[in-house]
Amino acid sequence: MKVSQIIIEKLLNDRDFRLGTALAMKISENNVRNLAKANSENLTKYSAIKFFKKNGFSELEIFEAEKLQTT
């Protein structure tokens, strides 16, 4: 599961949001930027999700829709 493009764009373009995420995750701002560029699953850690929700994002906005495969 990965975060949505909405969150990725916010992290790449909003320095305050990126700094807040970095503080919540206890990592550097540059690390958050790199995680966003790679759309890393580390952005789905509890501390990050809690911060995103605190900033008004719902789970539907935070997470990328999973594609179901049927066989």
The Cα 29–Cα 22 span in angstroms is: 5
- Does residue 26 fall inside a structural domain? yes
CB 15 within 8 Å of CB 22: no
Residue 68 lies in a domain: no
Instruction: Map residue 2 onto helix, strand or coil.
Output: coil
In a domain, 69, yes or no: no
Residue 54 within any structural domain of the chain: yes
Judged against a pLDDT cut of 90, whether residue 32 lies above it is answered with yes
Is residue 67 a part of any domain in this protein?
no
Total-model pTM: 0.86
Domain count across the chain: 1
CB atoms within 10 A of CB 47: 13
Has residue 24 been placed in a domain?
A: yes
**Residue 45 contacts by C-beta under 8 Å, 6 or more apart in sequence?**
25
pLDDT bucket at 1, cuts 50 / 70 / 90: confident
Domain hosting 34: range is 5-62
